[in-house]
């Protein structure tokens, strides 16, 4: 009725309207009620965030959801900053870790669509001599295998994790240095082995065929193309620009006498160690825009998006049961049936991110400022995706967490 009244008002002749006595400002039209089910959907997501804060001790968690029916909305629990007590906000920036892999993989596939990279071409064609020795051979590894994590290359991040954090937290790393470290490591035991090494090599392939650093190409082809104003490569800068959540990780003293370990502020970090596979800073809103554009056909022709969605089984010990991996994309089962597509990311300093799109087009992006420390915490983290992408009445296993 409010819409009809407004339309009739616009049809009143100007002279008649001017002749009427002033009656003061017209009251604002009432806000339209959300479509049926939107309040329940928001409540389900907010409820699913509770266990992460209340049961698992994560300081702050936030989610942004995009839905054709309910629009764009966000919920949060906990604090973004333990010192100030500032509330967690889905608008804050964070380090998105391995979600960066999907950005880089998208650019590689764009170049394949342009005929400049062959997905089934050997890495040796683009980077002669780079992968040689200790049983590794770039002539037997394809670009597709890099993006799919079936190359057989080990993960240099595992070598870093064995060293005291303060030895490398603030230092600069070059991609070739990280690759050289990986080539000294034993070959992984399983065919599918998640390794940031793969994406770092893929980034060098992009550099070789374009003449520009991979970060430059991601900026031009994805970030600026989509207007992702809160997404950027930090380079050697250890601080996050603009509003952001702090991030935390447990102190190395671990559990003592049943007392939880103390926290270390891990917000400041030199992310060159992650490079093309893990360095991006972003927000839940930008992550949602990115995946929405990718699956909406704005970044790749349908044929080439289909290439990204060709999956192989992932190792459940390195992801989770039922997960499959495409070209820089994770596919995972939903509790209500069907699968979501997207990617997750973790950084040592304590930020964790995830972006996912469900079969109905609803998207969710998550932000945590401490990494879940137990298997149950990880399950509760993934349960937030179910709560966001499934109808509330089709996620009965979540009710016990609320």
397 class by beta-carbon count within 10 Å (0-12 exposed, 13-18 middle, 19+ buried):
exposed
What sections of 262-354 are H helices per DSSP?
Answer: 284-295, 302-308
Tokens at residue 160, please?
Answer: 């870093």
> Do 103 and 199 meet the contact criterion of CB atoms below 8 Å apart?
no
The torsion angles phi and psi of 327, rounded to 5 degrees, stand at -95, 90
* Burial grade of 16 (CB within 10 A; 0-12, 13-18, 19 or more): exposed
Q: Supply the DSSP string of 264-284, one letter for each residue.
A: EE-----GGGTGGGT--EE-H
What does each C-alpha distance from 19 to 13, 23, 26, 335 come to in angstroms? Answer: 10, 12, 17, 63
Residue reference for tokens 């459940």 = 316
Q: Inter-axis angle of helices 175-183 and 196-210, to 10 degrees?
A: 130
Distance CA 305, CA 230 (A): 25
The encoded tokens of residue 337 equal 């049936």
For CA atoms 196, 120, 221, 74, the dihedral sign is negative
Length of the chain: 402
Q: Which two tokens stand for residue 187?
A: 């070959």
Q: What is the DSSP letter of 222?
A: I
Whether 262 sits among the annotated catalytic residues: the reply is no
Among residues 98, 151, 247, 332, the one annotated as catalytic is 98
Residues with catalytic annotation? 98
């Amino acid at each position: 009725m409010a819409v009809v009244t407004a339309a009739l008002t616009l049809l009143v002749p100007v002279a008649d309207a001017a002749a009427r006595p002033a009656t003061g400002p017209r009251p604002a039209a009432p806000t339209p009620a959300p479509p049926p089910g939107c309040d329940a959907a928001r409540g389900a997501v907010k409820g699913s965030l509770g266990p992460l804060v209340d049961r698992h001790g994560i300081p702050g968690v936030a989610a942004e959801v995009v839905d054709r029916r309910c629009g764009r909305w966000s919920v949060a629990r906990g604090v973004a900053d333990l010192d100030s007590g500032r509330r967690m906000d889905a608008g804050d920036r964070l380090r998105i870790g391995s979600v960066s892999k999907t950005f880089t993989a998208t650019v590689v596939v764009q170049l394949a669509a342009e005929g400049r990279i062959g997905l089934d071409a050997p890495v040796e064609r683009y980077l002669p001599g780079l992968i040689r020795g200790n049983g590794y051979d770039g002539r037997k590894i394809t670009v597709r295998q890099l993006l799919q994590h079936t190359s057989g290359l080990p993960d240099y991040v595992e070598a870093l994790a064995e060293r005291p954090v303060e030895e490398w937290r603030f230092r600069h790393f070059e991609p070739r240095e990280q690759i050289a470290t990986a080539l000294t490591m034993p070959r992984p035991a399983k065919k599918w082995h998640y390794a940031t090494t793969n994406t770092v090599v893929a980034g060098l392939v992009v550099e070789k065929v374009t003449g520009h650093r991979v970060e430059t190409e991601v900026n031009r082809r994805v970030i600026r193309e989509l207007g992702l104003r809160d997404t950027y490569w930090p380079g050697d800068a250890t601080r996050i620009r603009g509003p952001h959540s702090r991030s935390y990780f447990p102190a190395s003293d671990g559990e003592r006498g049943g007392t939880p370990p103390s926290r270390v502020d891990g917000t400041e970090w030199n992310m060159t160690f992650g490079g093309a596979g893990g360095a991006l800073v972003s927000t839940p809103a930008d992550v949602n825009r990115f995946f929405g554009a990718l699956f909406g056909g704005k970044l790749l022709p349908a044929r080439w998006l289909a290439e990204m969605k060709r999956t192989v089984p992932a190792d459940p010990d390195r992801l989770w049961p039922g997960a499959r991996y495409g070209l820089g994309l994770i596919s995972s089962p939903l509790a209500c049936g069907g699968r979501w597509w997207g990617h997750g990311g973790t950084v040592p300093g304590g930020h964790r991110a995830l972006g996912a799109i469900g079969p109905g087009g609803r998207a969710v992006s998550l932000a945590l400022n401490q990494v879940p420390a137990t298997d149950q915490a990880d399950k509760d983290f993934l349960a937030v995706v179910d709560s966001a992408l499934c109808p509330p009445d089709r996620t009965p296993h979540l009710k016990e967490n609320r």
